[in-house]
C-alpha cells in the first residue's frame, strides 16, 4: 500500500506534527510506503491532492474538517479514496464515518485506512463547490463568521462563548425565498441546515436522521422563536432531539435554492463565506472514503 498524508500544521492547536512518529512507526511495522506533505496555506491541500491522486492508493488528510474538505475537493472524480486522521477541533465527518478521534486513536484510524475496504458516500454541492458534511445559514453561520472577528481580541474557547452571547442578543431572523426540489415558498427563518452528514460543530447532532449513502440532502428549517427560548432550543438542537418542536420542519430533497435580499453568512463544513443566492445539490455516491463499518471505541 502506498499512502500520501497531507498534514495541516496549524490544525489541532498546531499539534498535528506530533502524529508523525506514530505514522512512521505504524507504516514501518507493516511495510507500508508513505509520504507526508505539509500545507502552507488555504487551498494547498486541494492542489496537493489533485496533483498526486493518481500516484497513491489513498490520500489521508491530517487535521480538522477544513483540511478534510480541501483534500476531498482535490481527489473528487479520481477514484482515489480519502482517509482521515481526525486531529482538528470538529472532526464531524470522521464521526459520521465512525473513525476514532484524536491523538490517542491514531493507530485505530490508521488501521481503518489500511484494513477496511473503501466505500462510496454522497457529497453535496454548494454553488458547484464540494461540501461533505453540513452547510447552514442563519444564527449558527453568523456565529462562525463573527468568531473570526472576536478572535482578534479574545483567544481560546472564550472567543466562541462571547460570539454566541453577542449573536444571542443581536440576531434577527432572515426573510428568505426557498425552493425545495422545484417547490417555492417564502419563509422567515432562525436557521436553515443543509445536511449530508449527522453532526457539526464538534458533535452537535443537527441531523440524527442523516444517511450519507441515500442520495438525498436533509434540510432542517427552524422558524423564529422568542429570544428567551433560544437556550432551550440550542440544548435540544445539540442533542438532536428537536424535531418534535412546532417551529421545526424537516425535508429530504435533491436540490435547494435560497434567495435573500441581503448577503447571508454561509457555513460550509465549518468554513465561512457570504452570498445572497445559494444553490445546494446532492451528488450521490461521488467520493470514496475509508471508514469503519461499525462504531469504534473512542
**297 is a domain residue:** no
Domain boundary among 51, 82, 115: 115
Do 200 and 99 lie in a common domain?
Answer: no
Place of cell 452547510: 135
The dihedral through the CA atoms of 122, 123, 127, 129 has a sign that is negative
The answer to the question of residue 289 being in a domain is: no
* 156 and 95 part of one domain: no
Are 38 and 135 contained in the same domain?
no
Residue ending a domain, among 115, 150, 167, is: 115
Task: Map residue 148 onto helix, strand or coil.
Answer: helix
| Residue 28 shares a structural domain with residue 149 | no
Q: Are 82 and 75 in contact (CB under 8 A)?
A: yes
161 in the same domain as 60: no
Q: Would 294 be classed as within a structural domain?
A: no
Q: Are residues 86 and 157 in the same domain?
A: no
Give the count of domains, the chain: 2
Asked whether residue 218 is assigned to any structural domain, the reply reads yes
* 144 and 104 share one domain: no
At a CB cut-off of 8 Å and minimum separation 6, what does 64 contact? 8, 11, 12, 86, 87, 88, 89, 90, 91, 270
Answer whether residue 71 is part of any domain. Answer: yes
Closest CA to 167 of 249, 265, 263: 265
Taking only the tens of pLDDT, the chain with its 298 residues reads 999 999 999 887 888 999 999 999 999 999 999 999 999 998 999 999 999 999 999 999 999 888 999 999 999 989 999 999 999 877 889 998 999 999 999 999 999 999 989 999 999 999 888 999 999 999 989 988 888 778 777 766 677 778 888 888 888 999 999 999 999 999 999 999 999 999 887 788 889 888 999 999 999 999 998 888 888 888 888 888 888 889 999 999 999 999 999 999 999 988 889 999 999 999 999 999 998 754 444 4
Residues 40 and 107 in one domain: yes
Do 137 and 279 fall within a single domain? yes
| Neighbouring C-alpha atoms within 13 Å toward the C-beta of 109 | 28
Sign, Cα dihedral of 144, 148, 153, 159 = positive
In this structure, the answer to whether residues 72 and 149 fall within a common structural domain is: no
Evaluate whether 118 touches 211 at the Cβ level (below 8 Å).
no
**Do both 27 and 155 map to the same domain?**
no
Among 58, 86, 115, residue at a domain's last position:
115
Q: Alpha-carbon distance 232 to 241, whole Å? A: 11
Spatial distance between the Cα atoms of 107 and 116, rounded to a whole number of angstroms: 13
| pLDDT at residue number 227 | 87
Is 22 part of a structural domain of the chain? yes
Q: In terms of domains, do 101 and 192 share one? A: no
Alpha carbon distance 145, 40 (integer Å): 23
The span from the CA of 27 to the CA of 111, in Å, is 10
**Domain ranges, residue 51:** 2-115
Amino acid at each position: 500500500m502506498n499512502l500520501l498524508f497531507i498534514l495541516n500544521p496549524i490544525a489541532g492547536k498546531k499539534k498535528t506534527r506530533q502524529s508523525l512518529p506514530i505514522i512512521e512507526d505504524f507504516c514501518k511495522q507493516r511495510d507500508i510506503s508513505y509520504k507526508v506533505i505539509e500545507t502552507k496555506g488555504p487551498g494547498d491541500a486541494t492542489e496537493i491532492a489533485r496533483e498526486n491522486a493518481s500516484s497513491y492508493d489513498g490520500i489521508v488528510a491530517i487535521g480538522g474538517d477544513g483540511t478534510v474538505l480541501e483534500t476531498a475537493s482535490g481527489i473528487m472524480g479520481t477514484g482515489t479514496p480519502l482517509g482521515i486522521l481526525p486531529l482538528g477541533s470538529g472532526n464531524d465527518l470522521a464521526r459520521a464515518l465512525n473513525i476514532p478521534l484524536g491523538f490517542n486513536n491514531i493507530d485505530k484510524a490508521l488501521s481503518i485506512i489500511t484494513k477496511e475496504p473503501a466505500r462510496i458516500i454522497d457529497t453535496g454541492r454548494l454553488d458547484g463547490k464540494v461540501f461533505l458534511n453540513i452547510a447552514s445559514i442563519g444564527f449558527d453561520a453568523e456565529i462562525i463568521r463573527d468568531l473570526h472577528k472576536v478572535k482578534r481580541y479574545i483567544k481560546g474557547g472564550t472567543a466562541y462563548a462571547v460570539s454566541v452571547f453577542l449573536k444571542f442578543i443581536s440576531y434577527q431572523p432572515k426573510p428568505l425565498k426557498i425552493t425545495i426540489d422545484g417547490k417555492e415558498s417564502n419563509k422567515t427563518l432562525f436557521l436553515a441546515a443543509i445536511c449530508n452528514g449527522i453532526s457539526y460543530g464538534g458533535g452537535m447532532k443537527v441531523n440524527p436522521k442523516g444517511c450519507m449513502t441515500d442520495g438525498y440532502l436533509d434540510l432542517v428549517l427552524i422558524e423564529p422563536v422568542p429570544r428567551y427560548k433560544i437556550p432551550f432550543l440550542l440544548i435540544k438542537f445539540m442533542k438532536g432531539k428537536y424535531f418534535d418542536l412546532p417551529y421545526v420542519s424537516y425535508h429530504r430533497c435533491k436540490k435547494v435554492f435560497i434567495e435573500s435580499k441581503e448577503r447571508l453568512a454561509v457555513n460550509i463544513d465549518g468554513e465561512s463565506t457570504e452570498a445572497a443566492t445559494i444553490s445546494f445539490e446532492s451528488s450521490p455516491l461521488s467520493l470514496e472514503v475509508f471508514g469503519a463499518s461499525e462504531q469504534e471505541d473512542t
